Structure 1
Amino acid sequence: MSSGKMVTYDQLMVPLTKALVKLGGSGSIDEIYETVVDIEKFDEETLANLHNPEKSSQTEIGYRLAWARTYLKKAGYLENSSRGVWALTDKAKQVSEIDSREIVNFVRTLDRKASLITTDPSKPELSVEDSPEEVLAWREKLHHILIEEMSPDAFERLTQRLLRESGFIHVEVTGRTGDGGIDGKGIARINGLMSFHIAFQCKKYKGSVGASEIRDFRGATVGRADRGMFITTGNFTKAAIEEANRDGAAPIDLVDGDQLADKLKELSLGVRTELVEKVSVDPDWFFNL
C-alpha cells in the first residue's frame, strides 16, 4: 500500500482477522503486526509514522491495530491471554468475513452509557477500562524516563539486569568504544542443557533503526558470539527486520521499545502492576426488595 491517507482502525479489522487465520488462529501482537503489514503491503514511509514521537515509540499502524483488537474483542470476535496471545473465537470462525462497520456500531452502542462515542474512526475516545494496552499512560512515562532521563550507562545496566532476570548468565557490559557497536555479552541457557553466547547492543533512540545498523552490528559479532541481540527504545524498519532474519546470515534478535516495556512490566523492573477495586451500585437490587 502506497503512502497517503493513513488507514483507520476499523479498516484494519478485516486484515487483522485474516492475519490470525494465516497464523493458525492465534498470534502474539508482534506476529499479528508483521502479518498485517505483509498482507497490506504497507510501505516504509507508512510504517515509520509514529503515533506520538515525543511520548512513545509506537507506530501509528501499531496504535490503530491495538484499537482494532479492542473493538473485535468487545464484539466477541477475539480473545486474549495474560501472556499477550490473541486468538479468534468460535464466533469469528463461523463467519467468512467480518463486517467492520457493524462491529463499530455494536461496540459504540455498548459504550454509549459511558459516553465513549466518537465521530472520528482514526481517534477513538479512551477509557481506563477499555484502552488498548499500548496506549496506557505508563508506557509514555516509561518511554520518557528511558529516553530523556536515563544516562547511557544506566540504560546499559538496565539491559544487563533485564537479561539476568530473563535467565541469562555471565552478563557483562563492555561498552568500549571501537567495539563495533557491541555493548555487552552473556550466555543464554535453554532448559539447563544447552547454551549459546550472545552479544548485545542497547540503543536509546526515538526513531527507527535501519538495516545498515543491523548489518554493522552483525559484522561485529562474527567470531565473537553465536547470535546477536539488538535492543532499542525506538522501533525497527521493515528492512531492518528482514535483514535480522536474512537467510544464510547469523540471526539477530530484535527488541523494540514496546517489547522492552512489556518485558520490564512482566519482570516488575521499575514497573508495578496494581489491582484497583471498582465499586458499583445496582439500583435494581434495591427496587426489587
Structure 2
Amino acid sequence: MDQLAAMRAFRRVVEFGSFTAAAAELNQSHTIVSRQIRQLEILLSAQLLNRTTRRFALTEAGQAYYERCKQILDQVDDAAQAIASHQARPSGVLRINAPQAFGTMELLSWLPAFILENPELRVDLVCNDRYVDLIEEGFDVALRLAHALDDSTYIAKRLAKSELLLVASPDYLRQHGLPQQPRDLKEHNCLTYSLASKPNDYIFTAADGTLHPVVVRGNLQANTGIALRSAALAGLGIAATASFIVHEDLQRGALVRVLPTFALRPRELYVLYPQNRHMSPKVRAFVAFASEWYRTPRWG
C-alpha cells in the first residue's frame, strides 16, 4: 500500500463528503478509493469511518487522524513546492574551482556579469593549481586547462583553446636579439613554468608540421604564469605562458611574441561538473554563461 496516497484519498473523502467525488478528484475509481481507506484502517487497527449505505461519518479516531493527515500532507506539498521553486532558478551557493592564473586574470573578467545576472546566487571561488576532487571537496563546477582530460568521473565541456606563447619585452630583445629558430633559445634566458611535466623541454611545431625539440635554461621558474608574465615585462627573459595571460600586453606592445611561426602544444579550456541525474539550475546557468562567453574567441 502507498500510505501517502491512501492518506490523500482519506482526506479527499472527508473534505468532499463523498467517495464518488473524491475518486473523481483523484482520477481514480470508487473501488480503489474504498480499498485505500480499508487498508488504512487495517494498518492503523482503527475504524476511521462509520459507513451506511448512503453516507458515512468520522469516528473519533478518524477525526484525529484527519487532522494529522492535513498537517502531514500540507508539509509534504510545501516541501515539494519549495524544491520546485529552487529548481526553477539559480540560487544558493555555487562553489567554483579554477587555476590560479586563470581565476585571477581571466575568470574575473566575466564572473561579475554572471553574478549580476543571477542575483540569488552566492559564489565561492577557490583558485589553485593542484588537482581538485570536485565531489570530495564539495565543488559544483571547475574550470581546467589541459592538453586532454583522462578522468571520466565528470562531465566536461570544451570552451576554448588557450595557446602557449613565447613572449619577451622589447628591451630584452633589443639587448639579446630576436630568436629566429627554436634552437636559438639555447642562447637566451628562458623563464619556465615549474608545474609542467618537463619545464625545460619545449617541442615546437613548424608551419610545415615538422617538430623542433629544444632544451632551454634560465634563472627563474615559477608555478604560476602571472609571475612569468611579470618577469618578462621587467625584461628578465623569454617566457612561455598562456595567451589569456599576455594577450593584452601583446596588443599594447609591452610584450612581443617570439618565434610566431612555430607553435607549442596548446591547452584546452574545459568546464567540468559532477555527473548528476538532475543538473542543478546554478550549474546549468554557469555552464551556459561560460559557453556563450567563449563562443567568441577572446585571446586572438
* TMscore range, shorter length: under 0.3
Q: TM-score, normalised by structure 2?
A: 0.25
More contact order relative to length (CA 8 Å, sep ≥ 6): 2
TM-score, normalised to structure 1's length? 0.26
**Structure 1 or 2: more strand by fraction:** 2
Q: Which of structures 1 and 2 has the bigger CA Rg? A: 2
